[in-house]
Each structure stands twice: as structure tokens, then as C-alpha cells.
Amino acid sequence: MAANNNPTVTGRRLGTELRRLRKDSGLTGAQVAARLLISQAKVSHMETGRRAVSPRDVRDLCRLYGVADRHVVDSLTALARESSRKGWWRAYGDIPHSVYLDLEAAAASILAYGSMVIPGLLQTPSYAASILDETIPLPTVGQAAAQLRVRLRRQHRIYDLARPLHLRVVLDESALRRVVGSREIMREQLEHLHALSTEPHITVQVLPHSAGAHPGLSGQFSVLEFPDSRETVVYLKRFTSGLCLDKPSDVQQYSVTHAHLRARALTPRHSRHLIADAVKVYTS
């Protein structure tokens, strides 16, 4: 059980292992809480990765579950230590959507749907700065600057030739037509998007207005898959936070939805033609 190098993913994986061991022991969450003199909520949060698990917690739980294999206990303890690390984004202060940042940093591939704006991983610095300036209520100079630095650092993954992030994006045509910042910023952004869409590990498909109503109208989402793990997570972004879904039925629903959106969108080649045409609009 090698530890994943990402604290959020590691914590979720540790929680899954602890939940499996509890079920194998025949104990309920309430019984575990009563025997260890802790709250049932703490047991639940440890098993879902929403609360840090200390090495002492691991030892107490393994003893209660009757885990005698020293290798298993040591492996879980190592996961607990790894999950307590702070993500790289912590150096920038209190950044919204921090859970997603850790998930994205560890992901091997992402299926994304963007309804209103170009996704953060594909944004130019000027476009990103305009988005942050116009969507953060009463931002301080420090807040805006920190969030911009974080957003641009996230993009290192798509330029990492040793470990490129495979990105498959379906983008509503509205994102091409909505003027963010200025026409010059939009021209630069769409030229950048066009160039990135030719990379072998990045696929961009545009869902044209002519497609009418479609399953993506409910809002943007991302489906993240991780290396050396069978876990897949759906992330729904909200204004200041987000929601992680890992129930198999939820993951399947969003994966199927993304497949439907890809089927209704223009092909990658025709999408590049549409993006090029939009560039001309902002150039004229």
C-alpha cells in the first residue's frame, strides 16, 4: 500500500481502507465511537477523508478491528503521516477550493465541462486576472494576487512532459462569446486555447449554441481519475467551496453525462475552426 504523494487523495484512500477494515470486523460506526470514546461524526469524517487521521488513531482503530498484520498497520500509519502534509497551495494563504487543488494536482486525467468561461487550466494570465477581478466581491490586492499566482501554478501540470495531465474539455460556445476583460484579452485567450487544443494530451470540443438544451445546463463539473488508484471523483464547483462525489452511481452519472456532451459537441477539428473564427471576430 504505497502512499500517494497528495495529501487529499491519500486521506481519502486511508479513509476507504479504514472503512473496509471496520466493516470486515462487523462493527458499526456507532459501536466504534462508543468503544473509543469519540463521536460518531469523527468516525464518519475519518472514513470519508474529511478529517485528518493521526498515527495514534490508526493504531487504536487497528487494535479495535483486530488487525494483527504489522505490515498493514505500518502501511496505514504511513498513509496517516502522508495525509497530514499541507498542499503546495497552503503557502499562498486561505485559497478557495483548496480540496479541488489537491485533487487536480494528483489527477492523471480530467474530464471537464465548462459552461460560462474558459477553464482555469487553459486561461492566459490576463484572462485569469480579469476573471478574478470581476468575480471576487471586494477583493483585497493580496487576495487577488495570491489567487492569480495559484491559478497560474496549477497550469504547470499541463506543461509537465514527464507527467502530463490528460485533459478532455467540453466547452459551451458561450465561453467563446462572453467578453472577459477586453476584446484584446479575448483574442489572446482564444489564440492560446486554439494552440493548446493541438497538444496530444489536451482535447477541446465546443458545444455550439445550435445544440440547444443539453445535460450540461445544470453547471460545470469535473471528473478526476488518479494514477495507481481505482478511485474516481466528481467535483462540483460552487462560489466559495465545492462538493466531492465518489459514490459509484454519481461518478457513473457524470461520466455518462460528459460522454453525451462530447457526442453532441463539435469534433476537436471543427471546434478549432470555430475557435479560429471567434479569434477573427475579436481581431476585426
pLDDT tens for each residue of 110-135: 999 999 999 999 999 999 999 988 87
pLDDT at 4: 39
- Compute the average pLDDT of residues 72-84: 81
Q: What percent of the chain has pLDDT over 90?
A: 50
81-85, 147-151, 262-266 — most confident range: 262-266
- 145-149, 216-220, 276-280 — which one is most confidently predicted on average? 276-280
pLDDT per residue over 161-179, tens digit each? 788 899 999 999 999 999 9
| Band of residue 3 on the pLDDT scale cut at 50, 70, 90 | very low
Provide the percentage of residues in the chain whose pLDDT is more than 70: 88
pTM: 0.73
Between the alpha carbon of residue 53 and those of residues 82, 99, 155, 267, the distances in Å are: 10, 16, 30, 46
The count of other CB atoms within 10 Å of the CB of residue 92 is 18
pLDDT above 70 for 97:
no
Is residue 49 within a helix (H) or strand (E), and if so which, with residue range?
none
Query: Is residue 267 pLDDT above 80, yes or no?
Result: yes
Enumerate the H helices of the chain as residue ranges.
7-25, 29-36, 40-48, 55-65, 70-83, 98-106, 125-135, 141-154, 156-159, 174-177, 183-196, 248-264, 268-283
**What domains lie within the chain, and their CATH numbers?**
7-83 (1.10.260.40), 93-283 (3.30.870)
**pLDDT (average), residues 223-231:** 80
216 pLDDT more than 60 = yes
Q: What is the mean pLDDT of residues 14-24?
A: 89
The Cα–Cα gap between 269 and 281 comes to 19
Q: Flag whether pLDDT at 21 surpasses 70.
A: yes
- How high is the pLDDT of residue 30? 93
Res. 243: pLDDT tops 70: yes
